[in-house]
Chains A and B, each alone.
Chain A
Amino acid sequence: MSDTPQPRKPLLRDRIERALERWGHTAYRRAGWVLAAALLTVAGLASQLPELGFDTSSEGFFAKDEPIRQDYDAFREQFGSDTQTLIVVRPGKVFDLDFLAKLREFHEALEDEVPLLVEVTSLINARETRGEGDELIVGELLDDWPTNQAELDEIERRVLANPLYVDQLVSRNGAVTTVVIESEVYSRVGVEEDLYAFDDEPTEESPEGSAFLTGEEVASIVGAVYDVSDRFRSPDFEIHVTGTLVMTDDMQREMRSDMAQFTGLAILLIAVFLAVLFRRVAGVLLPITTVVLSVIATIALMAIAGIPVTLTTQILPSFLLAVGVGGSVHILAIFYQARRRGESKEASVAFALGHSGLAVIMTSLTTAGGLFSFTAAELMPIAHFGYTAPLGVLVALALTLTVLPALIAVFPMRQEHARATNEPALTQKLVIQAGVFATHHPRSMVAVWGILIALALVGATNIRLSHSPYAWFPESHPTRIASDMVNEEMNGSLFIEFLVDSGRENGLHDPELLRALADIRERAAQTRSNEMYVGKTVSLVDVVEEIHQALNENQPAYRAVPNDPQLVAQELLLFENSGSDDLEKVVDSRFQVGRVTMKLPFLDAVNFPPIFDSLRAEVTDALGDQAQFTLTGLGVLAGETIVAVMHSMLRSYAIAIAVICPMLILLIGNLRLGLVAVIPNLAPIILALGVMGWTQMPLDSLTMLTGSIAIGLAVDDTIHFMHNFRRYYAESGDVDYAVRNTLATTGQALLFTSLVLSSGFFLYCFATMLLLHNFGLLTAFTILAAFLADILLAPALMSLFARRTVQSTPTVALETPS
């Protein structure tokens, strides 16, 4: 392509600008109608706000049709939840009469008060199968409540000798004990029952569309657990509560309070900036009203579309406030300029829309385009952000073009006085000087940026991935303390599940296959990868060994798999009859698919894939051709999140660049300059990646957003810069003059929007959840870097490349017919 003039575009542009101007008149004259229509629409949408859902679950990171999610949901359907609430109780001494009595009260209170309960398990009701002489005792550990120290000692001996208790119900040193609460998997919302109905449909297929627990249900479970715990807590009955549900609920509560807090702070911050910039009540109130309405409408649309608030989408309100206010600022700035020239309010509104409306539309589109790139992400919260954030930007654009002019019409304003001097403010002077310096020393400036970018690229190779939900909580957070304690005392708190499929009914009666399960248990105990290890493995073979030993007078030598398949079948039949429903937790009713549960320490998920790979290899080897297996569980989802973060980031960055670059080139109307203009837009993202690499700030499901958010916003500055630069350059053919004037007119607006945006993101450093801190810092940095690139790198590049462009095709390329 050559740099030939393209006269049709400016004409189109002209037509659009005139249409916008006409719209300015209409909106002004029919302000009442416009406001009424807008307010009614927003109010109608807002009525749906109570439907807004929250999803902080680990499985919520994956779409329901992803194979990894399907494996997990199928597992939950067969075996129930692997999401437990874990209560760690630390007494002076576990095997103590007073303590056990209190533990029993605590256990019963939980059974009575916790809703959506499947089962409470603790030492109080721990199942025990043992042999005594000719008798087989099937019951609970404490069926015969101990009354003296000798009986207690005997129980302690039995507990610590039973591998099914150690690390599950009691720590190996006997210092702490746990109460495990298993909750329902599926929501009861909407499941009403006809008391007397006896439908006689054939056995149903898998429950398509069954909803998992809602946020409110989770909150009611966790709330009840906390209430009971608070009542029982005492110095000799120290209680710590953790587990997936608690974490999910904590995150939701922190998110709710963080969201409210940051929305308030963002409004305050923007008000301060607006007050400084415009020094008028209207200058503060009108943009804020416009943008607040946009946020309400967007969140309501989210509720209607059934998109939940997640760890990612929680930033939407404050994000949209900061991003959405820019359009109002640009229009108001021009409006006040026109008023100072003595124009009427209506004429000023129409002029402002005609002058800046198109720029506002174009910048909104590029921002939305950058954000839309997230829809390609594999991780659901990020894909959701990819739909909602651009939607919010477009809603803000619509309201900026409708509500803002109408508000101006109805808001009483004084006559503006022409300013006496045109003396630029200090900040403006600094911005201009920076730009002028860059145009005078373009090669050194480009060299400096080149070195920075090179350094950043080196740093970027060192980027550390991370997904560590526990570490999102501050170290002093009760959930974090409890989780650390469980990891330490109970040998881990992360569960993964191998589902071993024998491919035939009663396949798991086969002693060979059972021995393979025992082999898996031994191999897992030996498997290590960095700090990861398997703290515990439980499967059907543990049950078989236990009952075989019990039937053989408890002799330790019989803690093994019997050789006779008929004996296995008969022992399992006995167990089925023993009053325990434990079998359904480890094997399906056809004895075809067995569940092998492994417990690992819950470290950063970046550590998971290597040990999962080792375990897969061990299990494959142990099973040989006897059975197939799938690996699932929350741990696997967490591990997969890491991989997906990386893929999602690369994909969304590529898309953002692919979407925005052509838009930029089209807007500038010149291929060569358009390509050059891409450089100051990419530079800040590369710098951000470099900062992450050098400072070891982890790349996670939030910091990965930075790049595409930043590119969408940085382009706005570039558009404003190029828009003006081209105009002044066309006037003079002098880069120095063009840069100076560009920065004199738009420099302050660029500085203002950059400051609002970076401060808006910087606010996240005050969030409770640690993962927001890094995201806030990084994005604030990137936006400032983008600003610097626009006032330093862009002018330098223009003075190098515009000259050459001018030399090759004199003046016409940058000419804009006016």
Chain B
Amino acid sequence: MNRILGIALAALLAPTSAAATDAETAAPLTGRQIMDLVDERDDGDKSVQDMQMVLIDKRGGQRKRMLHSLRMDDGEDTRSIMFFVEPADVKDTGFLTYDYDDIDRDDDQWLFLPALKKTKRIASGDKSGSFMGSDFTYADMTDRNLDHYDYKLVKEMEVDGAAVWVVEAIPNTKKEIDETGYTRQLIFVRKDNHVVVRSKSWLKKGGRTKFFEVKKLEQIDGIWTPTEMHMKTKKGKKTLHKTVLRSQNVKYGQDMDEDTFSVRQLEKGL
């Protein structure tokens, strides 16, 4: 499984096991080697959490959303189910997603609208769209194939007192650009635990850049888990929109199986 920024978020959505341990490696690593370390990091499995999403517009106006999410990784495919808790008018709206390891296979997504009392399968290959109206995209939330990028270590520096590698990632296929919406990324990887703590992404559309930052990083059941993340969409020097994503009540290794991630469960609700 290959992940870039997704790794940080994936951790939020589902983690299972033990800590990333590697201390700083002595020998200089290549960009790709660093990304392999990120990819190999244990980000947990069978997780449950409450997500608070604060959407902040350019005038500072805020909207809050609460979701309850479950996530399971069977080693190949990742399944997740999410329900809106707040605001009231979208309560119980649910999304069920199968993210296949086979990169040629589009994700499957089902949606349940309680007001319509119907489940619809959504067919869409585009991952560059907003995730739940936030500045995060589906591409930010899901895994990526490392082979579709050229990596280069461009800088070593400190972020909040921790040493990081800065790796530049350039997609090497047009399909990857079209699907993620990104033409280039700078990924800031902590040397001690291989968590992506920052990233800066250049969007294909509209001369925009996106700034991702892990604001709180905690060890939960020995797994490094970002519990507060910010994503800011900027154009030039102006912030267009910003999202604060907080994780609460994160638990790994919970009791769940394939039936938890079914349409029936989606319609049944929490």
- The answer to whether B124 and A138 touch across the interface, beta carbons within 8 angstroms, is yes
Which residues of A have CB within 8 Å of B61? 505, 589-590
Interchain CB contact (< 8 A) of B207 among A184, A205, A569, A573: A184
- The answer to whether A134 and B186 touch across the interface, beta carbons within 8 angstroms, is no
Given the known inter-chain contacts A118-B207, A570-B93, A589-B63, please indicate yes or no for A576 contacting B130, CB distance below 8 A.
Answer: yes
Which residues of B have CB within 8 Å of A564? 115
Which residues of B have CB within 8 Å of A118? 205-207
Would you give the shortest CB distance from B241 to chain A, in whole angstroms?
A: 6
Which residues of B have CB within 8 Å of A570? 89-90, 93, 113-116
- The answer to whether B93 and A573 touch across the interface, beta carbons within 8 angstroms, is yes
Given the known inter-chain contacts A118-B206, A138-B124, please indicate yes or no for A509 contacting B89, CB distance below 8 A.
Answer: yes
Residue interface bits A192-223, CB-to-B below 8 A is 1, else 0: 01011010111111110010000000000000
Interface size in chain B (residues, C-beta < 8 A): 55
- The answer to whether A134 and B90 touch across the interface, beta carbons within 8 angstroms, is no
Most buried by B among A77, A506, A574: A574
Interchain CB contact (< 8 A) of B123 among A138, A205, A566, A590: A138
From residue 143 to 196 of chain A, which have CB atoms closer than 8 A to chain B? 143, 184, 186, 188, 191, 193, 195-196
Which residues of A have CB within 8 Å of B113? 551, 567, 570-571, 574
Residue interface bits A101-144, CB-to-B below 8 A is 1, else 0: 00000000000000011110000000000010011111100010
B57 within 8 Å of A (CB atoms): yes
Interface size in chain A (residues, C-beta < 8 A): 54
Interchain CB contact (< 8 A) of B89 among A506, A551, A580: A506
Does more than half of chain A's interface fall in helix, strand or loop, or is it mixed? loop
Would you give the shortest CB distance from A200 to chain B, in whole angstroms?
A: 8
- The answer to whether B133 and A577 touch across the interface, beta carbons within 8 angstroms, is yes
Give the CA-CA distance A340 to B248 in the complex, in Å: 102
A588 within 8 Å of B (CB atoms): yes
- The answer to whether A188 and B207 touch across the interface, beta carbons within 8 angstroms, is yes
Would you give the shortest CB distance from A574 to chain B, in whole angstroms?
A: 6
Interchain CB contact (< 8 A) of B132 among A138, A567, A576, A589: A576
B148 within 8 Å of A (CB atoms): no
- The answer to whether B133 and A551 touch across the interface, beta carbons within 8 angstroms, is no
A415 within 8 Å of B (CB atoms): no
Most buried by A among B111, B119, B128, B237: B237
A424 within 8 Å of B (CB atoms): no
B152 within 8 Å of A (CB atoms): no
- The answer to whether B211 and A198 touch across the interface, beta carbons within 8 angstroms, is yes
Residue interface bits B29-70, CB-to-A below 8 A is 1, else 0: 000000000000000000000000001111111010000000
Which residues of A have CB within 8 Å of B57? 203, 588-590
A450 within 8 Å of B (CB atoms): no
- The answer to whether A569 and B236 touch across the interface, beta carbons within 8 angstroms, is no
A614 within 8 Å of B (CB atoms): no
Which residues of A have CB within 8 Å of B129? 577-581
Would you give the shortest CB distance from A55 to chain B, in whole angstroms?
A: 21
From residue 220 to 270 of chain B, which have CB atoms closer than 8 A to chain A? 235-239, 241-242
Residue interface bits A674-693, CB-to-B below 8 A is 1, else 0: 00000000000000000000
Which residues of A have CB within 8 Å of B125? 139, 143
Most buried by B among A195, A566, A578, A588: A566
Give the CA-CA distance A309 to B56 in the complex, in Å: 40
Which residues of B have CB within 8 Å of A551? 113, 116, 118, 120
A565 within 8 Å of B (CB atoms): yes
Give the CA-CA distance A551 to B114 in the complex, in Å: 13
- The answer to whether A119 and B138 touch across the interface, beta carbons within 8 angstroms, is no
Which residues of B have CB within 8 Å of A191? 236-237
Given the known inter-chain contacts A577-B132, A580-B129, A590-B63, please indicate yes or no for A136 contacting B123, CB distance below 8 A.
Answer: yes
Would you give the shortest CB distance from B224 to chain A, in whole angstroms?
A: 20
- The answer to whether A195 and B186 touch across the interface, beta carbons within 8 angstroms, is yes
Which residues of B have CB within 8 Å of A505? 61, 63
Residue interface bits B109-151, CB-to-A below 8 A is 1, else 0: 0010111101111111111111111000010000000000000
- The answer to whether B133 and A565 touch across the interface, beta carbons within 8 angstroms, is no
Give the CA-CA distance A579 to B32 in the complex, in Å: 29
Give the CA-CA distance A198 to B126 in the complex, in Å: 28
B11 within 8 Å of A (CB atoms): no
Residue interface bits B76-95, CB-to-A below 8 A is 1, else 0: 00000000100101100101
- The answer to whether A139 and B126 touch across the interface, beta carbons within 8 angstroms, is yes
Residue interface bits A482-520, CB-to-B below 8 A is 1, else 0: 000000000000000000000001100100000000000
Would you give the shortest CB distance from B82 to chain A, in whole angstroms?
A: 10
- The answer to whether B123 and A202 touch across the interface, beta carbons within 8 angstroms, is no
Given the known inter-chain contacts A210-B238, A590-B63, please indicate yes or no for A579 contacting B95, CB distance below 8 A.
Answer: no
- The answer to whether A589 and B124 touch across the interface, beta carbons within 8 angstroms, is no
- The answer to whether A136 and B111 touch across the interface, beta carbons within 8 angstroms, is yes
Interchain CB contact (< 8 A) of B238 among A204, A566, A588: A204
Would you give the shortest CB distance from A81 to chain B, in whole angstroms?
A: 11
Give the CA-CA distance A302 to B49 in the complex, in Å: 63
Interchain CB contact (< 8 A) of A203 among B60, B93, B236: B60
Given the known inter-chain contacts A184-B207, A579-B128, A590-B63, please indicate yes or no for A196 contacting B122, CB distance below 8 A.
Answer: no
Which residues of B have CB within 8 Å of A567? 113, 115-116
Give the CA-CA distance A186 to B84 in the complex, in Å: 37
Closest to A185 in B: B235
Which residues of A have CB within 8 Å of B118? 551
- The answer to whether A581 and B123 touch across the interface, beta carbons within 8 angstroms, is no
- The answer to whether A196 and B58 touch across the interface, beta carbons within 8 angstroms, is no
- The answer to whether A589 and B55 touch across the interface, beta carbons within 8 angstroms, is yes
Give the CA-CA distance A119 to B166 in the complex, in Å: 30
Interchain CB contact (< 8 A) of A202 among B60, B166, B186, B238: B60
Give the CA-CA distance A29 to B58 in the complex, in Å: 67
- The answer to whether A138 and B122 touch across the interface, beta carbons within 8 angstroms, is yes
- The answer to whether B133 and A573 touch across the interface, beta carbons within 8 angstroms, is yes
Which residues of A have CB within 8 Å of B127? 579
Would you give the shortest CB distance from B235 to chain A, in whole angstroms?
A: 7
- The answer to whether A196 and B166 touch across the interface, beta carbons within 8 angstroms, is yes
- The answer to whether A204 and B239 touch across the interface, beta carbons within 8 angstroms, is yes
B155 within 8 Å of A (CB atoms): yes
Residue interface bits A546-565, CB-to-B below 8 A is 1, else 0: 00000100000000001011
Would you give the shortest CB distance from B37 to chain A, in whole angstroms?
A: 21
Interchain CB contact (< 8 A) of B155 among A196, A565, A569, A581: A196
Which residues of B have CB within 8 Å of A186? 235-236, 238
Would you give the shortest CB distance from B180 to chain A, in whole angstroms?
A: 12
B99 within 8 Å of A (CB atoms): no
Given the known inter-chain contacts A119-B206, A551-B113, A578-B129, please indicate yes or no for A589 contacting B241, CB distance below 8 A.
Answer: yes
Top 3 nearest A-B pairs (CB, nearest first) are A579-B129, A567-B115, A579-B126
- Apart from A137-B122, A570-B90, A577-B131, list 9 A-B contacts with CB within 8 A: A117-B207, A119-B206, A136-B122, A136-B123, A186-B236, A203-B242, A509-B89, A571-B116, A574-B122
Binding site for A on B (CB under 8 A): 55-61, 63, 84, 87, 89-90, 93, 95, 111, 113-116, 118-133, 138, 155, 157, 166, 186, 198, 200, 205-207, 209, 211, 213, 235-239, 241-242
Q: What would be 8 A-B contacts, judged by CB atoms less than 8 Å apart?
A: A117-B206, A131-B120, A139-B124, A184-B206, A188-B207, A573-B90, A576-B130, A579-B124
